Amino acid sequence: MALQPKLKPEGDERWMYVARRHWIALLERAAIPLLVGAVAAIIFVVRGLTLQPDFLGNRPPLLDLLSLLLILLGLAMLVIVAYTYFDWQNDFLILSNKRVILEDRTLFLRYDYETILLERVQNVNLRQRGLQKLLGYGNVTVQAAGSTAPIVFTRARRPAEIQQQVMKEVNREKREQEKRRLDAVAQRRLNPQAPPIPVPKVPVEEGLKSSTHGLESLLPLRPMFLNGTTIVWHRHWIVLLRRLLWPLLLFALWLVVLVVLPKLLLLAPGTTTILLFVSLIGILGFAAWQWEDWRNDVYMLDPNRLIDLQRRPLGLSEDRKEASLGAIQNVNAISPNLLARVLGYGDVEIETAGTSGNLVFLTIAQPQQVQRVVFEYMDRHKWSQKERDWNTAIDIVESYNRVQSPPQP
């Protein structure tokens, strides 16, 4: 009999759909202990069938030390397989009328669950490749708006059905949310004193500084929140390190020259001093240029647009790209290699519907977090635009009523 989720609905919540992992997930985890246990059983049986009596005609005992070890090994593998089976039975992806929940129970050890409210679900992605599609399993990723981490349900049974069910509930919740917001807009038009529609805070905003001082302004490694509306990111420090590599190598070479050149007596002492001083100033200037060039490249996000601003030091050039949040089609976060994943950097690709092309935030820290924040701002922008449209529609209706029923003299 299949186990049921331990988590219970809250209040008027009800489970709409419960998904399980495919049997292939159990097979992958249990394959090694099954194989080891089978080999131990086969060796035990073969030894029992091939025991030969000694020269006195006495048969050796079947349960010798090696046989006992084989039995213990087989029992241990059986316990591991049973534990793996119950652990596999205890993993659920639960869809309720309010949220998506990943319940992961490890028998007798741990009970974890991740949850995303339906109103914050941005998209549901399905990934199936080759044999996965043939056997009917795959990975389902529920992507949330804002800084909430996505829910990833690996090796899911019937993943296309899961995707369909989740999106069905998400669309229903968003229709109801739209109705609630429309009612709130109409209520505020009838009663200007009615409370405004609350704007959800993005958790990452609360931890950002609004200004920098001292070393932090010279080395901006964290995003900033300027004017209470605009998030500013700089490129990852690995980019600065790469740009300072040549100045550092030149400085190392300068130190060698500083030691060797005076001993060679090729130039007069005064000339040597001037040459070394000028070259040091040049190396320091080169390093300062690279540092300022890194610091001048910024990516900005405000309530209406994304901005990619690339500037050269001393104001020599400026390249500015913008995209309206309403024109963004998709946002992808990419960590291109193992080093990028370890150090926490990558690229964020913003696909737009405009003719100006896509935007790419190159080598930025925490690309997945940036992706989620952009999704959250897109959601805010969408609702803000809808509320403006609703207010415009109400204005048109009021104007129509005034024209149809002019005030009596």
d(CA 383, CA 198): 11
Number of neighbouring beta carbons within 10 Å of residue 84: 20
For residue 224, give the 3-state DSSP assignment. Answer: strand
pLDDT per residue, tens digit, the chain (409 aa), is 456 777 777 777 788 888 889 898 888 888 898 999 899 888 888 877 776 665 565 666 667 788 888 889 889 989 998 888 888 888 888 888 888 888 887 765 566 777 888 877 888 888 888 888 888 888 999 887 655 678 888 888 889 899 899 999 888 888 888 888 888 888 877 777 777 766 666 666 666 666 666 677 778 888 888 777 788 899 999 999 999 999 999 999 989 888 888 777 777 778 888 888 899 999 999 999 999 999 889 999 988 889 988 888 887 788 888 888 888 877 888 887 888 888 888 888 888 876 667 888 899 988 888 887 888 888 788 888 888 888 888 888 878 777 777 666 6
Q: What is the pTM of this model?
A: 0.64
For residue 6, give the 3-state DSSP assignment. Answer: coil
- 387 alpha carbon, distance to own chain's centre: 30
Residues in the chain: 409
pLDDT score, position 289: 92
- Nearest CA to 308 among 293, 319, 324? 319
pLDDT score, position 239: 92
Provide the b/e sequence for 226-248 (b: ≥16 CB within 10 Å): beeeebbbbbbbebbeebbeebe
Cα 389 to Cα 196, 353, 384, 385, distances in angstroms: 16, 21, 9, 6
d(CA 340, CA 147): 20
Provide the b/e sequence for 301-334 (b: ≥16 CB within 10 Å): bbeebbbbebbeeeeeeeeebbbebebbeebebe
